[in-house]
């Protein structure tokens, strides 16, 4: 499990501006994002703690970025962009179709969410779990 210090060490190249005065990201903001991520995150699907912690860090960064974007946008919803035109310039973005699946599309809206999905997907495809037990005739 990661904490605010681990998060800041992972994202130390200017991805976020840390500090105690808004609009900087506070330790409390990071802790809240990690707690929110932990509610939808299953560390048991990853092969080791290092990979699990990295996935949790990216999921936490995704949720933190979504919170910052929501605050900047006054809480307006953000959906995956497929195209836009401004001043005669047109842009279309394409992400892999599997990232548009309804249950995970919200994670594809940030770079961090896409990294989380890329780390997680290999551990979800064909995952088989066993439970000890038996049957009686």
Distances (CA, A) of 63 to 47, 69, 85: 23, 10, 27
Domain contains 131? no
Q: Which ranges of the chain would DSSP assign to H, the alpha helix?
A: 4-10, 27-39, 49-72, 111-124
Domain contains 21? yes
Are 41 and 55 in contact, with CB atoms under 8 Å apart?
Answer: yes
Domain contains 10? yes
22 versus 5: which is more confidently predicted?
Answer: 5
Mean pLDDT is lowest, of 7-11, 69-73, 76-80, for: 76-80
Domain contains 36? yes
At a CB cut-off of 8 Å and minimum separation 6, what does 66 contact? 78, 109, 110, 113
Gap between the terminal Cα atoms of the chain: 44
- Characterize the bridge pairing of strands 84-86 and 89-91: antiparallel
Mean pLDDT of the chain: 85
User: Which domain does 27 fall in, by range?
Assistant: 4-124
* Domain count of the fold of the chain: 1
Q: Tell me: pLDDT of 99 over 90.
A: no
- Predicted model pTM: 0.68
Domain contains 88? yes
């Amino acid at each position: 499990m990661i904490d605010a210090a681990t998060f800041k060490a992972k994202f130390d190249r200017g991805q976020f501006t840390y500090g105690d005065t808004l609009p900087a990201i506070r330790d409390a903001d990071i802790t809240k994002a990690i707690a929110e991520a932990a509610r939808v995150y299953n560390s048991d699907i990853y092969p080791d703690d290092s990979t699990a912690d990295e996935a949790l860090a990216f999921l936490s960064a995704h949720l933190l970025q979504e919170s910052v974007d929501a605050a900047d946008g006054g809480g307006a919803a953000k959906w995956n962009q497929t195209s836009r035109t401004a001043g005669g310039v047109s842009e279309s973005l394409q992400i892999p179709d599997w990232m548009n699946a309804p249950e995970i599309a919200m994670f594809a809206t940030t770079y961090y969410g896409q990294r989380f999905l890329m780390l997680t997907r290999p551990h979800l495809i064909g995952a088989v779990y066993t439970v000890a037990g038996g049957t009686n005739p």
